[in-house]
Amino acid sequence: MRRFVVISVIVILFIFPSSVSADVAPPSQPPGSNPQPGTGSTQVQMAAETVLIDVQASAPDKSFGQAHVTADFTMHNQGDQAESMAVRFPIGGGTGFFSVQQIKDLRVKVGGKSVSTRNIKGEDPNGGPDQVPWAEFDVSFPPGQDVQIQVAYTLEASGEYPFCWFEYILSTGAAWKDAIGKADLIVRLPYPVSDQNVLFFTEDAQENSMPNGTRGGVISGNEIRWHYDNLEPTRDDDFGVDMVMPSAWESSLTELNNIDQNPKDGEAWGRLGKLYKAMTFSSRGKGFRTDPDLDPGAQELYQLSLQAYEKATSLEPKDPLWHAGFADLLSYHAYFLNMEGNDMTAEELRSLQEIQRALQLAPNDPKVQEIAAEISSDFPDGMTQNGSSYDYPWLTASPFPPTPRAQLILSTDTPVPENAATPGLATLTPTPADEPQTNSKPSLPFCSEALLLPIGALVLIQRHRTASLKTRS
């Protein structure tokens, strides 16, 4: 199935131009934005702005995430004449699905006092062809004086489970006189920022001022901060931040607490492994998070998922779904790294062992059958369907290749990073490896560095089967 998905995505890209890609993407929410002056030129400069995107720990059902945005602007009239104008602010944006999302709780203050707004129509800040709602409010700017404007609202994230992204448009501030004197953008999470829960490797990160991007940012506790001086914003400066959905990350923290209270809770270990597995795959069609230079957090999450599944299957050896979920993790990782020419024999074999065990325990379970079909499709020479059951040529080859966990997965060459801060995981003791034997499947010796090699362009697609909290595995 994965091969079919890769081919299908490539065909779609050739058939449909990029301008219609929004039709198959998740709905885009109305982004935050700097206010714009009314029509005509102005002598008013945006002397300073501070934008706080305060991401909330929880959000309503069917929401990928919400943030409370507070944007404070210091406006200075450089002219010798007072100016009165209707300042504009976009409150809607096209979704790409022939509808418009709209901010519903906009609050505006001028000089510290709340002011009323009225709705007008304007261009789509998401780049759509149709006009969308804007809010308009009246402001007077005396000559040579500062005027404070504050705009506050709730910003909805766009997303694809378990990831979401927030956007903020700086370029609408270009209509004011001269450059923006100074600008500070702050993204605040409800927990410490890490490269596991913020996707610093994405295209947004590289092009839109993320910490690994061209202009950088500073991480401090729960916040990431960016500062600009004399900014003349263009569309290239518009801001985006990709992250693990807060609800998903909070779920992982809950499971860690459960494990801390009861380290022998196999179900909690399994749920944690599944959450980490989902976070190891990227959103927005970027494929698998495997580039070690840009996304070390993905490697940490992958190792944490491996060890969590190890604990789950050790504590619950007769639970078929944790064996199947473990097989799913291993096979998917091996499949995509194989596409780049890396030898992933050890993971392939361990994946086959885990799915074989799951099928022995629950041969008719729909989820086990689904994962078995995927793995058989990924490795058709290693796992073949025989009526209602499967054969495993690679596992029955002579001589039989050894597959203890120390040799295949949890070698001492791939320790969990210290900053992973996951109770119990770093202290797992690998089972001693058997004497190495030859493998009937031609391969290079397995080593931990194989996990760290980047993947190619074909991998940059959305995963066919996205993990879900609703199904155990």
φ, ψ at 411 (rounded to 5°): -70, 160
Cis peptide before 402 (omega within 30 of 0): no
In a domain, 132, yes or no: yes
User: 149 Cβ partners below 8 Å, 6+ apart?
Assistant: 35, 72, 73, 75, 87, 108, 109, 110, 139
In a domain, 17, yes or no: no
Please give the residue that has the higher pLDDT: either 210 or 338.
338
Please give the residue that has the higher pLDDT: either 102 or 324.
324
Question: Do 222 and 250 share a domain, yes or no?
Answer: no
Please give the residue that has the higher pLDDT: either 425 or 194.
194
- Sign of the Cα torsion 355, 334, 301, 248 reads negative
Question: Do 77 and 128 share a domain, yes or no?
Answer: yes
In a domain, 471, yes or no: no
Domains: count for the chain: 2
Question: Do 130 and 50 share a domain, yes or no?
Answer: yes
Instruction: Please give the average per-residue pLDDT across 43-50, as a whole number.
Output: 96
Question: Do 102 and 190 share a domain, yes or no?
Answer: yes
Task: State how far the alpha carbon of 78 is from the alpha carbons of 82, 181, 350, 394, in Å.
Answer: 10, 13, 69, 76
Question: Do 231 and 257 share a domain, yes or no?
Answer: no
Pairing mode, strands 44-55 and 66-77: antiparallel
In this predicted structure, the answer to whether residue 16 has a pLDDT above a threshold of 60 is no
Please give the residue that has the higher pLDDT: either 430 or 347.
347
Residues 257 and 70: their CA atoms lie apart, in Å, by: 32
Q: Which of 184, 209, 244 finishes a domain?
A: 244
In a domain, 136, yes or no: yes
Residues 307 and 277: their CA atoms lie apart, in Å, by: 11
In a domain, 127, yes or no: yes
Q: Which of 210, 244, 278 finishes a domain?
A: 244
The CATH number of whichever domain residue 278 belongs to comes to: 1.25.40.10
* Residue-wise pLDDT tens digits, 234-262: 888 888 888 999 999 999 999 999 999 99
* Residue-wise pLDDT tens digits, 90-121: 887 766 666 667 888 999 999 999 999 999 98
Average pLDDT over the chain, rounded to an integer? 76
Question: Do 275 and 236 share a domain, yes or no?
Answer: no
Q: At what angle do helices 296-315 and 320-339 cross, to 10 degrees?
A: 150
Question: Do 412 and 265 share a domain, yes or no?
Answer: yes
| Residues 151/168, Cβ–Cβ less than 8 Å | no
Q: Which of 229, 244, 259 finishes a domain?
A: 244
Q: At what angle do helices 366-378 and 320-339 cross, to 10 degrees?
A: 20
Q: Which long-range contacts (CB under 8 A, 24 or more apart) does 171-175 make?
A: 171/34, 171/233, 171/234, 171/235, 171/237, 171/238, 172/33, 172/34, 172/35, 172/36, 172/90, 172/125, 173/34, 173/35, 173/36, 173/46, 173/49, 173/233, 174/232, 174/233, 174/234, 175/36, 175/37, 175/42
pTM score of the predicted model = 0.77
Q: What is the pLDDT of residue 217?
A: 75
Question: Do 318 and 392 share a domain, yes or no?
Answer: yes
In a domain, 464, yes or no: no
Q: In what order do the strands lie in the sheet with 132-141?
A: 83-90, 132-141, 118-122
Top-ranked range on mean pLDDT: pick from 185-189, 213-217, 341-345:
185-189
Give residue 373's identity as a one-letter amino acid code: A
In a domain, 318, yes or no: yes
Domain enclosing residue 145, as ranges: 26-244
Pairing mode, strands 66-77 and 146-156: antiparallel
Question: Do 176 and 273 share a domain, yes or no?
Answer: no
Question: Do 87 and 230 share a domain, yes or no?
Answer: yes
How sure is the predictor about 457, in pLDDT bands with cuts at 50, 70 and 90? very low
In a domain, 20, yes or no: no
Question: Do 227 and 373 share a domain, yes or no?
Answer: no
The CATH number of whichever domain residue 204 belongs to comes to: 2.60.40.3680
* Residue-wise pLDDT tens digits, 384-402: 998 889 999 999 875 444 4
Strand partners, 138: 86
Pairing mode, strands 83-90 and 158-160: unpaired
Residue 165, judged by CB atoms within 10 A of its CB (0-12, 13-18, 19+), counts as buried
| Segment among 306-310, 356-360, 373-377, 415-419 with least mean pLDDT | 415-419
The three-state (H, E, C) secondary structure of the chain, written as one string: CHHHHHHHHHHHHHHCCHHHHHHHCCCCCCCEECCECCCCCCCEEEEEEEEEEEECCCCCCCCCCEEEEEEEEEEEECCCCCEEEEEEEECEEECCCCCEEECCCCEEEECCEEECCEEEEECCCCCCCCCEEEEEEEEEECCCCEEEEEEEEEEECEEECCEEEEEEECHHHHHCCCCEEEEEEEEECCCCCCCCCECCCCHHHHHCCCCCCCCCCEEECCEEEEEEEEECCCHHHCEEEEEECHHHHHHHHHHHHHHHHCCCCHHHHHHHHHHHHHHCECCCCCCECCCCCCCHHHHHHHHHHHHHHHHHHHHCCCCHHHHHHHHHHHHHHHHHHHHCCCCCHHHHHHHHHHHHHHHHHCCCCHHHHHHHHHHHHHCCCCCEEECCEEECCCCCCCCCCCCCHHHHCCCCCCCCCHHHCCCCCCCCCCCCCCCCCCCCCCCCCCCHHHHHCCCCHHHCCCCCCCCCCCCCC
Please give the residue that has the higher pLDDT: either 471 or 295.
295
Question: Do 110 and 151 share a domain, yes or no?
Answer: yes
How sure is the predictor about 292, in pLDDT bands with cuts at 50, 70 and 90? low
